[in-house]
Amino acid sequence: MLVIEQIRGECGVKSEALIRYHAKALTLTKEFEYLLFEHIPRTQNEHADHLSRLTMTYFGDIPQGVHVEVREYPIHMDCSIRPVLEEVADYHTAIVRYLVYGQLPNDKLEARLVTNRRYKYRQSNLGPLLFCVSEAKIDQTLHEVHEGHVCGHNIGGHALALKIIKAGYSWPTIMKDAMAYVKRYYKCQMMQPIPRYPVREMSAMVGPIPFAMWGINLVGKFIKPPVKYKDVVVDVDYFSKGVEAAHLKITTAKAIEEFLWKNIITRYGIPKVLVSNNGHNSTLRFIGPGIYVLEELSEKPIDRTWHGVYLKKYYV
């Protein structure tokens, strides 16, 4: 009764959901020359009773004689409103335009390629035609095949590309895209061995064993008073960079042997390698840039001159 009074204009429509339907009903009434609205009790109108309960009823429970029409949009709308997606140009857009509209690119080379590839399906080596997948659906195709919804368990990049081809799909960069998808797949990264490569490039160690390789040298001469010692013998471990040093009043072979026995052999064991410059040479005078004249421990000058580069080759 309320709906009839609303159409007659005796009552107003307050529900926002019914305003559009009320306007549509008034528009339809103008198409009739004579129209009579009569209220029928619900007990005498089973069709209206079923329609009122249709939102809470399954289609299988609707009795015969009640016709239900499923529409894509409400009846008060003249047309459906759908979002228009802009077409993304990819490798087969020009082919589709050529097949549908007969349009070719302005570039002669591209036009020749389009005419040569003017098929939406590609002939595979295995025989069946392969559907050319657009770039917008490449990720979806890779995901469905790799997840196992279509072709089984998770697989590698090369096998994934072959599975997609066997499923009937193809695109120019299928192998490259399949390899890249497998590399960035989270579950595959979790199950792969952890790379343990160093961040920086490794360099060879001169002394890989502790206290096995020592470098020995003499520092001096200390000739200014009140120092009573002439030289200092220094021994450096190549591995730990540990330093052992002692002062010497007289630099002799016996003094060096006592130093090695007391400070090295008795504490760290016999060294595998002992590096020295075969004696201590002190600088006698400076001749030019990087050129020196040396003398031996016995204060005897060495005949030839020495360059500073060779003098800097110390063992530490």
Whether 231 and 306 map to the same domain: the answer is yes
Residue 273 in domain: yes
CATH of residue 275's domain is 3.30.420.10
Whether 135 and 186 map to the same domain: the answer is yes
Residue 51 in domain: yes
* Tokens representing residue 37 in the block: 């609205």
* Tokens representing residue 46 in the block: 């089973």
Per-residue confidence (pLDDT) for residue 160, from 0 to 100: 87
Whether 187 and 219 map to the same domain: the answer is no
First to last CA, the chain: 107
Average pLDDT over every residue of 252-276: 83
Beta bridge partners of 273: 213
Residue 143 in domain: yes
Average pLDDT over every residue of 165-179: 86
Report the predicted TM-score, pTM, of the whole model to 2 decimal places: 0.34
Residue 227 has pLDDT above 60, yes or no: no
Picking from 22, 37, 61, the residue at the C-terminal end of a domain is 61
Q: Of 75-84, 126-135, 206-215, 283-292, give the lowest mean pLDDT range.
A: 75-84
Residue 254 has pLDDT above 60, yes or no: yes
Whether 221 and 187 map to the same domain: the answer is no
Whether 49 and 136 map to the same domain: the answer is no
> How far apart are alpha carbons 220 and 109 in whole angstroms?
82
Identify whether the C-beta of residue 164 lies closer than 8 Å to the C-beta of residue 174: yes
Residue 124 in domain: yes
Identify whether the C-beta of residue 210 lies closer than 8 Å to the C-beta of residue 238: no
* Tokens representing residue 310 in the block: 């060779």
The neighbour count for residue 238, using CB atoms within 10 Å, is 22
Whether 230 and 183 map to the same domain: the answer is no
Picking from 13, 28, 61, the residue at the C-terminal end of a domain is 61
Residue 169 in domain: yes
Residue 67 in domain: no
Which range marks the domain in which residue 6 is found? 2-61
Residue ranges in the chain assigned as alpha helix (H): 2-8, 16-29, 46-52, 93-101, 108-116, 138-147, 157-166, 174-184, 186-191, 253-260, 266-268, 308-311
Whether 153 and 183 map to the same domain: the answer is yes
Residue 316 has pLDDT above 50, yes or no: no
Residue 36 has pLDDT above 50, yes or no: yes
Whether 186 and 218 map to the same domain: the answer is no
List all residues 6 or more positions away from 293 whose beta carbon is below 8 Å from its beta carbon: 283, 284, 285, 286, 287, 301, 302, 305, 306
Per-residue confidence (pLDDT) for residue 79, from 0 to 100: 52
Residue 111 in domain: no
Picking from 61, 93, 108, the residue at the C-terminal end of a domain is 61
User: pLDDT (tens digit, 9 = 90+) per residue, 199-218?
Assistant: 788 777 666 778 888 888 77
Total number of domains in the chain? 3
Residue 6 in domain: yes
Whether 304 and 234 map to the same domain: the answer is yes
Whether 152 and 237 map to the same domain: the answer is no
Q: What's the burial of 313, exposed, middle or buried (CB within 10 Å: 0-12/13-18/19+)?
A: exposed
